[in-house]
């Protein structure tokens, strides 16, 4: 079973989305549950696919809001499945405008994690 580990950035982003965009947050959290079910059943998290999953640089997987209803703003929950520890890190959540900065932040997070800086 995979353990979920939220980062400080994720906690901050989640609070913002809970107040300002609760429907988008609910949609990505629903898809997070789907993703967790899939990686728990898979031999390797890298083989998991879905229309709501988007591979990003460095092994980061973005989970979007698809399936959450109409008129939702594009939202991505950035995760990293650290297979050596069976830990799914929740790194950040953002919208289309923040996507480049979010991806850069996530890539740096994964690099630091792999270098043992956490």
Ordered by start, the domain boundaries in the chain are 3-113
Q: Is the pTM of this model over 0.85?
A: yes
What CATH homologous superfamily does 3-113 map to?
RelE-like (3.30.2310.20)
Q: C-alpha distances in angstroms, 109 versus 22, 38, 53, 58?
A: 26, 24, 19, 10
User: Each residue of 30-84: pLDDT tens digit?
Assistant: 999 999 999 999 988 989 999 999 999 999 999 999 988 888 999 999 999 999 8
Closest CA to 37 of 113, 110, 88: 88
């Amino acid at each position: 079973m995979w353990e979920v580990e939220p980062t400080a950035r994720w906690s901050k982003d989640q609070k913002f989305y809970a107040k300002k965009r609760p429907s988008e947050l609910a949609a990505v959290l629903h898809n997070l549950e789907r993703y967790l079910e899939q990686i728990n059943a898979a031999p390797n998290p890298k083989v998991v696919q879905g229309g709501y999953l988007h591979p990003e640089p460095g092994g980061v997987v973005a989970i979007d809001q698809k399936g959450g209803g109409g008129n939702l703003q594009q939202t991505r929950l950035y995760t990293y499945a650290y297979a050596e520890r069976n830990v799914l890190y929740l790194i950040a959540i953002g919208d289309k405008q923040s996507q480049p900065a979010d991806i850069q932040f996530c890539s740096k997070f994964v690099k630091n994690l792999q270098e043992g800086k956490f």
